[in-house]
Amino acid sequence: MDQPIFTNDTIVFGILAVCLGFIFYTSSRPSGFWKKFYSVIPAVLMCYLLPALLASAGIVSDATSGLYFMASRYLLPAALVLMTLSIDLRAILNLGPKALIMFLTGSVGIIIGGPIAMLIVSVFSPESVGGLGFDAVWRGLATIAGSWIGGGANQAAMLEIFRYNPEKYGAMVLIDIFIANIWMAILLLGIGKKVQIDRWLKADVSAIDDLKIRVTRFSEKITRVPVLNDYIMMLFFAFGVVGLSHLSGDALSSYLSGNYESVADNRSFLSFLGSNFFWMVVIATLAGVFLSFTRARNYEGAGASKIGSVFIYILVATIGMKMDLSQVLDNPGLILIGFIWILIHAGLLILVAKLIKAPYFFLAVGSQANVGGAASAPVVAAEFHPSLASVGVLLAVLGYAVGTGGALLCALLMEIASKV
């Protein structure tokens, strides 16, 4: 179906709101079928799957909607502010180096996973990894590497550098979205089994538990019945920072791109500094951290992180709407490459987590900071606990810094693999 049934974003937003309301209502049932259902399928996963099913049925479509842009540019930075108001920076630093190790392991898994997947698929389907000139499949896969290590800015950089045929680029975007969202779903499923997974990994989760306890105790200490003044002040902090982050982000990205060739050149390792989305996330996060050292942190007692969570769930629903399951089988060979690629990424993460006894939280967030970026890493982190959302953001920001360089290396290896 070329056009979805509903193209008016006011209606589409209402449909997404109905989906979220249905999920949260049924997941709050104390017993019966729904209690058993959500003990297997996490509610946050359903918030992603229902919109995906609607998109697949041709009822709604991300292609005709601006809701993802709204959620990622307006609600995401607002959520980052509200969810970091009560951040305990010292406790986050006490989490140790394992979070960084798992993030870098995830990056390495993407870099080596692409060429290995191409070699495997070329054995029985050489046409899936072939192509000449700007139609060469490895050029298109390089854009996925940019997305999975860094984010949208890095993906655009790879498209500019390797000049993959624009008419075929849509297939690569589909693989990127489909595989990344399937992997995110698996990570979310694992959160429901995190105790068993951590026990198998023999992980020490004391630092994570300590952070959650400290934030919970602080929240309980300052909890109060919110009044209108509280909501207006939280609106002021959240969207005041959103405006500031966009203003500053646009100015910084324009200034750096206009004055430094290394930033303006998409072939440069520093090209991510020219992304206004990168600066928007950084500035919103820094503003939230700054406010955590002021009396503004007491607004956590009025439900700041809960409002932030509402924004995050709206973002999750718009992310789900991006995946049209009906198009999956249009490119089976490429989809297979994507699956093998993400399996190598996952296998390396599990191996290293087992060796260094890293908690599942570090595995999940380290992976999502690579594959999902700043838009979804906080979603996965916050599902463990709202106080941990900032960890996902910090790692995702790091992904922007290494995304272009890592994707260039991956592209070089995939070009070699395509000629073997």
Q: Where are the domains of the chain?
A: 66-418
Nearest C-alpha neighbor of 82 from the set 300, 345, 378, 232: 300
Scored b (16 or more CB within 10 A) or e, 83-114 reads bbbbbbeebbeebeebbebbbbbbbbbbbbbb
pLDDT of residue 350: 95
pLDDT of residue 36: 85
pLDDT of residue 345: 95
pLDDT of residue 330: 64
Q: pLDDT tens for the chain, 420 residues: list them.
A: 578 999 999 999 999 999 999 999 998 887 788 888 887 777 877 888 899 889 888 899 888 999 989 988 899 889 888 877 877 677 667 777 888 899 899 999 999 999 999 999 888 878 777 777 777 888 889 888 988 887 766 776 677 677 787 667 767 877 887 888 888 888 988 888 888 999 999 988 887 888 778 777 877 788 889 999 999 999 999 999 999 999 999 999 899 988 888 788 766 667 778 878 878 888 888 888 889 889 998 898 888 888 988 898 898 888 788 776 666 666 677 888 889 999 999 999 999 999 999 999 999 989 988 887 766 788 788 888 877 777 887 787 777 777 777 888 898 898 888 877
Q: What is the pTM of this model?
A: 0.72
- State both tokens at 339: 């699956």
Specify the amino acid at residue 111.
Answer: I
What's the CA gap between 67 and 55, in Å, rounded? 13
Half-sphere exposure at residue 223, Cβ-oriented, CA atoms within 13 angstroms? 9
pLDDT of residue 248: 94
**Residue 146 vs residues 110, 153, 266, 406: alpha-carbon distances, Å:** 10, 8, 12, 8
- State both tokens at 149: 């290590």
pLDDT of residue 352: 94
What's the CA gap between 342 and 187, in Å, rounded? 12
pLDDT of residue 269: 60
Q: What is the DSSP string of 260-325?
A: -HHHH-TTSTTGGGG-HHHHHHHHHHHHHHHHTTSGGGGGGGGTHHHHHHHHHHHHHHHHHTT--G
